[in-house]
Amino acid sequence: MLNLSTPDFTQHPPRSPRVRLGGYVHLPRLLDKARAHAAGKAGDFHYNCPLDRHFFEFTGISDEVLLAEVKTGKSDTEMLAWVNARAKRGPSEVAAWSVWLTNHAPGGHEGHEWFGEVLAKTAPERRDIVTFFDLLDLDDHASYGGKV
């Protein structure tokens, strides 16, 4: 049976980065990754990856502090209240940041190189994959047996 309180990424991927919690894109995926990391079941997924660090920079919350709070067993709703109490960001700021992150794409040589390598391995014929969210959704789907 699937247990989302302690996700096992050897069995299923985290939620899509497009899923929102309290207006924040990526936060549900970040919480999934933190929970799996804490349970030792993160598989190939990396907590505090560059995309995660955009969230930490925007909110001013450190990866270590968030991970420690996740380890207390809080629900998504409780974690959102905890984030909001620390981030001090208004709804319009969260909305604007979420639009920016949703459309975020490689901006430099290293990012383009990595993006191209993953895309070439996963679905080289796809020309519609342009953002990091596109690539993550595609890679998650393909990694768990989905046809691309």
Question: DSSP states of 63-120 as a string?
Answer: HHHHHHHHTTT--HHHHHHHHHHHH---HHHHHHHHHHHHT----SHHHHHHHHHHHH
Structural Rg of the chain based on CA atoms: 15
The answer as to whether 70 is a domain residue is yes
The answer as to whether 86 is a domain residue is yes
Q: Please tell me the pTM assigned to this model.
A: 0.93
Q: Are residues 25 and 85 in the same domain?
A: yes
Q: Are residues 144 and 98 in the same domain?
A: no
- Judged against a pLDDT cut of 70, whether residue 57 lies above it is answered with yes
Which structural domain range is residue 81 located in?
Answer: 9-104
Percent over 70 (pLDDT), the chain:
97
pLDDT in tens, 123-134: 999 999 999 999
Q: Are residues 25 and 95 in the same domain?
A: yes
The answer as to whether 43 is a domain residue is yes
- For 21, phi then psi, to 5°, come to -140, 115
d(CA 127, CA 24): 27
The predicted structure's pLDDT at residue 1: 61
The predicted structure's pLDDT at residue 2: 66
Q: Are residues 100 and 112 in the same domain?
A: no
pLDDT in tens, 94-117: 999 999 999 999 988 888 898 999
